[in-house]
Amino acid sequence: MDLGIKGKVAVVTGASAGIGLAVARGLAAEGSNLALCARNALRLDQAVKAVGEEYGVRVIGVPADVGIRSDVDRVVQAVSQEFGGADILINNAGAGSEETILEAPDERWQHYWEMHVMAAVRLSRALAPAMGERGGGVILNNASICATQPLGYEPIYNVTKAALVMFSKCLANELIPLGIRVNALNPGLVMTQSWQDAARRLTEDQAMSWETYLENIARDNAPIGRFASPEEIADFMVFLCSTRASYCVGSTYYVDGGWLNVVT
């Protein structure tokens, strides 16, 4: 199936590992050129080289913390200089949190607000005008099932991801006249390095292995009984970026193995 994105320029944040790297590979497999952003410069450089060599597309890397305004400006400048603009923006950068509302200081709230919400606001605001001039495009915001079904140990993550979903809806209404489709994605359990690291930490003094710990989480929460691979999430994201998804706009899609406990 031709997804119609060969030769397009895609910007992917949080692109050096996990879902971000998987969607970068998925877009590259369809012939899209890439601007990849991540905080870890070494890991980003490895990703840029690997994706470029494997798929033969043009790939640049921009080391950046998109939660910092000046780093966002640097990403936008690099994309403009190298490609003249972008056709696809994947706002994927993010991280889990662990706190209580009563104990978390303002600085912690602000950190996640900048990372999960303002990064998407700033990148969208900066890249959308040229995207419209190029004939339209796609902005896809990677949120979380926690935007709707919160986990008790990460209230800041829940709140900021919910805000990202609402931002996506508002932006979709504003940009559709420019031919830019905006959607959000709410993944459930995804087997990323952060999940594995957390499981190792939580089981280091227990008889239970970290693998069994994660298997129990999947069995207790997802009717499908397992975590998704990053590639399974990325495949759906690539489809939403394609011309095959031309009527998909202003929506939030759940890819959660049946975890969500309400009808929405």
Q: How is residue 14 written in tokens?
A: 């949080």
Mean pLDDT of the chain: 97
Lowest mean pLDDT among 62-71, 110-119, 196-205, 228-237: 196-205
DSSP state of 188: -
Give 97 or 176, the one with higher predicted confidence: 176
pLDDT at 1 over 90: no
pLDDT score recorded for residue 158 = 97
Q: Are strands 180-187 and 137-142 parallel, antiparallel or unpaired?
A: parallel
- What would the mean pLDDT of 157-176 be, rounded to a whole number? 98
- What would the mean pLDDT of 7-15 be, rounded to a whole number? 98
Looking at the chain, the whole-number percentage of residues with pLDDT higher than 90 is 94
- What would the mean pLDDT of 83-100 be, rounded to a whole number? 96
pLDDT score recorded for residue 202 = 85
How is 137-149 classified by DSSP, letter by letter? EEEEEE--GGGTS
pLDDT score recorded for residue 263 = 87
CATH class for the region spanning 9-188+230-251: alpha beta
pLDDT at 194 over 90: no
Nearest to 12 by CA among 109, 123, 110: 123
DSSP state of 190: B
pLDDT score recorded for residue 264 = 77
Predicted TM-score (pTM) of this structure:
0.96
Residues 30 and 245 sit within 8 Å (Cβ to Cβ): no
* Orientation of helix 155-175 relative to helix 119-133, angle to 10°: 20
Cβ neighbour number for residue 10 with a 10 Å cutoff? 31
Residues 64 and 75 sit within 8 Å (Cβ to Cβ): yes
pLDDT score recorded for residue 184 = 98
- What would the mean pLDDT of 146-172 be, rounded to a whole number? 97
pLDDT score recorded for residue 106 = 98
- What would the mean pLDDT of 104-115 be, rounded to a whole number? 98
Cα(181)–Cα(241) distance, rounded to whole angstroms?
9
- CA 10-160-70 angle, 5° bins: 55
pLDDT at 145 over 80: yes
Looking at the chain, the whole-number percentage of residues with pLDDT higher than 70 is 100
The pLDDT tens digits of the residues spanning 204-255 come to 988 999 999 999 999 999 999 999 999 999 999 999 999 999 999 999 999 9
CA dihedral (80, 174, 118, 32) positive or negative: negative
The amino acid at 18: G
Residues 147 and 101 sit within 8 Å (Cβ to Cβ): no
- What would the mean pLDDT of 194-200 be, rounded to a whole number? 90
Q: How is residue 262 written in tokens?
A: 């309400």
Nearest to 260 by CA among 144, 143, 164, 103: 144
Catalytic residues: 157
In this structure, the dihedral spanned by the alpha carbons of residues 182, 163, 113 and 180, taken in order and rounded to 10 degrees, is 10
Domain boundaries, the chain: 9-188+230-251, 191-227
pLDDT at 132 over 90: yes
Cα(209)–Cα(12) distance, rounded to whole angstroms?
34
Residues counted in the chain? 264
